[in-house]
Amino acid sequence: MPKIVISEHISKVKREGVTRYEFKFINQTKSEIFDVRIEPVFYKPYGDLEVMNLKSTDIKLVDNFISSISKKRKIDKNNMHAQRVSTLEDLEAKWTDKSSFIKLTIIARHSLSGLNRVYSKEFYSVDCITKKQFVSGDSLKVV
C-alpha cells in the first residue's frame, strides 16, 4: 500500500514574479507509486441555526496529476520522492472566516500490488499559510 505524509504547512512563495501557494508531500512507500491525483478543496459552512452544510470549491492546481513518484533513494540528488504542488489562487483572500477550511486529498496506486490508498489533510486555520519555504528533500519543515 502507498504511504504518503503531508506537510501541515502551506507555503506562500513568489516564483518568477508570481505568488504561489505550495503543498508538500513525501512518498514513504518502499516502492514507486503511480497514478497520483491531488485534490485540494476549500470548504465553507453555511446554513441556518438548525442545519449546517458545507459548500465546497475546488482549488485549481498548476498540476494535479503525477504519473509516478519514485521511492526514496540515496543516489537521488533531486529527492524525487518529495513533491510540491501549487496553486495560483489567492487562498488568503478566500479564507474569510474561522469556520472555513481546506482539505487536501491525495490518491495513489502502489506499483507492486496495484492497490489504491487515499490520504487527506485538513488545514483548519489561515495560520497554516506561511511565507517560509519548504526545506528540500525528506523534510516537511519550513524555514
Check residue 47 and give its pLDDT: 78
Q: How confident is the model at residue 20 (pLDDT cuts 50, 70, 90)?
A: very high
pLDDT digit string, tens, across residues 54-68: 999 999 999 888 999
What is the share, in percent, of the chain residues with pLDDT greater than 90?
A: 77
Of 67-76, 91-100, 104-113, 123-132, the range with the highest mean pLDDT is 123-132
DSSP state of 92: H
Q: 80: buried, middle or exposed (CB in 10 Å: 19+, 13-18, 0-12)?
A: middle
Nearest Cα to Cα of residue 76 among 24, 25, 136, 6: 136
- Taking the whole predicted model, whether its pTM rises above 0.85 is answered as yes
Check residue 105 and give its pLDDT: 97
| E strand intervals along 10-93 | 10-15, 18-27, 33-47, 52-58, 65-69, 82-87
Check residue 74 and give its pLDDT: 82
pLDDT tops 90 at residue 29: yes
Neighbour tally for 24: CB within 10 Å: 23
Residue ranges covered by each domain of the chain = 4-128
Check residue 95 and give its pLDDT: 93
User: What is the third-level CATH fold of 4-128?
Assistant: Immunoglobulin-like (2.60.40)
pLDDT digit string, tens, across residues 43-52: 998 877 676 7
Rg (CA), the chain: 16
> What nine digits make up the cell of 90?
489567492
Torsional sign, CA 27, 28, 32, 35: negative
Nearest Cα to Cα of residue 33 among 103, 119, 97: 119
